[in-house]
Structure 1
Amino acid sequence: MTEARPERRQMTVSDPQVMRALAHPARIAIMEHLGRVEGGATATECAEVAGLSPSATSYHLRALAKSGLVEQAPSRGDARERLWRTVGQGLMVDAGRSAGPEVRAAEQALVEAHAARDLERARDWLRRAGDEPPEWYDAALFSDTVLLLTAEELAGLNEAVSALFEPYRQRNRQGDAPAGGRSVAVHYRVVPLA
């Protein structure tokens, strides 16, 4: 069993096998859940968010562990209970500029799996938006903006947006939800147009 660590750093994924291991809706849900919970979670707890049985979720957890993305976490006191946690505090996928076709295909599959999940979240919101409390309805935002930037300005914009997110990421990792707080999906993509 792995001991607790004081600080977990963001992982950069460039290995096509790891990208393919991640490009599955259940594994994306499991990784996201483990990234939000302090101390780790069991296969049964992950199964609830992945929409699978605990045994199917255990299979996915073992595959993620084999890829170096999750590991066993210290027990909560019950030695029979197996907890899992992410190895890093977040993931960045980067095939690299010189990546070959196999790596590019794996990266594309992973990005498309995330995009499909993001699209389903937006659709889910639209289906239930009219039933949401007014403050949540009014605070939700869909925005599509085209900006004229240099590469240097774009890098600066990305850094500024990431800095804006950081206090809320810290709160999320610490499980320190404010009264009335909800998990909110923020989709931020910046891609140059042709």
Structure 2
Amino acid sequence: MTRDSDVLSDPKAMRALAHPARLMILNRLGVEGSATATEVAEIAGITPSAASYHLRMLAKYGFVEDAPPRGDGRERVWRPVNRSIRVGVQPGDQPDVRDAKLSLMQAFRREANEEADRALAGIDQEPDEWRDATRFNRSLIRVDAEEMARLNEAIQKLIEPYVARGREEADAPSGARIAEVQVNLFPVAKRPVPGLPTEDHDAR
């Protein structure tokens, strides 16, 4: 089962994927390749039987599939399906679809933040060339909706040649490793104004 891109709209599939352990398992398979339930259980902090259940649920909704067996074939081996997952809230979404989309996007954001936090916490242990190449940037831009959509397309085209699911180790330079790109494009929402405090505590 191979898909270049998949816009999720099934609320059951989105709720299944939003589970923290399943996101960890899917990330582990994407980074390190095919694995058994026992191998992914440790990174997710669950038992092998629980990992097996989560893998079956991911397979039910088309996120993972069977990989070629190893050795005597006793243990089932899994791999991620070659699909790029996209989620976006649309004006015509039914309430259950909208809620499932928001829940999944929040889960994605939590996992992305955790990934960035781990990278930042370990930055001092990275070799100089990797430390120098690491960037955590934020930029405010002034665009209309059409320009922002075009910018997103341009960024995706720039990244595409390097995406791990389409670039074998043999095709990458020596010393290449898995890295992560996080791109967020969104209109800045107005911040709530808390109002002035009733007392000036700093003056005391």
Range of TM-score over shorter length? 0.7 to 0.9
What is the distance in 1 between the residues matched to 2:140 and 2:42?
A: 38
Q: Which runs of 5+ in 2 are unaligned?
A: 190-204
Cross-structure match for 1:130: 124
Displacement of 1:132 after TM fit?
Answer: 2.3
RCO higher in structure (CA 8 A, sep ≥6): 1
- Structure 1 runs (4+) deviating above 3 angstroms are 35-38, 170-173, 175-178
Q: 1:51 aligns with which of 45, 51, 59?
A: 45
Question: Using a 3 Å threshold, how does the CA distance of structure 1 residues 126 and 70 change in structure 2: closer, same or farther?
Answer: closer
Cross-structure match for 2:15: 20
The answer to whether structure 1 residue 163 and structure 2 residue 153 are counterparts is no
What is the distance in 2 between the residues matched to 1:54 and 1:91?
A: 26
* Aligned alpha-carbon RMSD (Å): 2.3
Alignment of 1:26-37 (within 5 A): 26-36=21-31
What is the distance in 2 between the residues matched to 1:22 and 1:189?
A: 20
Displacement of 1:47 after TM fit?
Answer: 2.4
Question: Using a 3 Å threshold, how does the CA distance of structure 1 residues 41 and 149 change in structure 2: closer, same or farther?
Answer: same
Question: Does the 8 Å CA contact 1:35/1:173 hold for their aligned counterparts?
Answer: no
Q: 1:87 aligns with which of 60, 81, 91?
A: 81
Q: Which has the larger Rg?
A: 2
Instruction: Give the TM-score of the pair, scaled to structure 1.
Output: 0.83
Provide the aligned length of Structure 1 versus Structure 2: 188
Question: Does the 8 Å CA contact 1:33/1:46 hold for their aligned counterparts?
Answer: yes
Question: Does the 8 Å CA contact 1:10/1:92 hold for their aligned counterparts?
Answer: yes
The answer to whether structure 1 residue 180 and structure 2 residue 175 are counterparts is yes
Displacement of 1:85 after TM fit?
Answer: 2.5
What is the distance in 1 between the residues matched to 2:53 and 2:80?
A: 16
What is the distance in 1 between the residues matched to 2:108 and 2:150?
A: 24
